[in-house]
Structure 1
Amino acid sequence: MNTINSGVKDASALTRWVRYCLYAQIVLAIIAMFSGWLEYQLLQNFQQGFYSSKQAAAADAIANDARQRVVGILYFVVFIISGFLILKWIHRVSYNAKQLTNITMEFSPGWSVGWFFIPVFSLWKPYQAMSEIWQVSESPKNVPLTASSLILPLWWFCWLVNNFFSQYLFRQMRKMDNMPLSEVLNLNLLGQAGEIITIALAAVTLMLVNRISQFQQRAITAAKDQPANEPQQADAVVGL
Structure 2
Amino acid sequence: MAVFFIPVTNIWKPYQIPAEIWKVSKFGSNHKRTDTSPLTLKLWRVFWGVDSVFFQVSYNITDRAVETNELINADRIFFSSNIVSIIAILLTIKMVKEIDYLQANQGSHISEVFA
TM-score scaled by structure 1?
0.42
Which position in structure 1 is the counterpart of 2:100? 213
Which residues of structure 2 form unaligned runs of 5+? 1-5
DSSP 3-state at the match of 2:37: coil
User: Does 2:57 correspond to 1:168?
Assistant: yes
- Cα RMSD of the aligned pairs, angstroms, is 1.9
Q: Is the 8 A contact 2:40 2:94 kept in 1?
A: yes
Decide which of 189, 195, 213 is 2:76's aligned counterpart: 189
Residue type at the aligned position of 1:121:
T
User: In the alignment, is the contact (CA less than 8 A) between 2:58 and 2:75 conserved in 1?
Assistant: no
Q: Distance in 2 between matches of 1:141 and 1:122?
A: 25
User: Does the Cα contact within 8 Å between 1:135 and 1:148 map onto a contact in 2?
Assistant: yes
Residue 214 of structure 1, CA deviation? 0.8
Partner Cα separation in structure 2 for residue 146 and residue 162 of structure 1: 27
Change (3 A) 1:183 1:141: closer
Show the counterpart of 1:125.
13
1:42-121 map, 5 Å? 118-121=6-9
Consecutive unaligned residues in structure 1, runs of 5 or more = 1-117, 229-240
How far apart are 1:172 and its partner, in Å? 2.1
The CA distance in 2 between the partners of 1:123 and 1:147, in whole Å, is 19
Question: Residues 123, 147 of structure 1: CA spacing in aligned structure 2 closer, same or farther, 3 A cutoff?
Answer: closer
Contact kept? 1:138, 1:146, Cα under 8 Å: no
Of structures 1 and 2, the larger Rg is shown by 1
TM-score of the aligned structures, taking structure 2 as reference length: 0.82
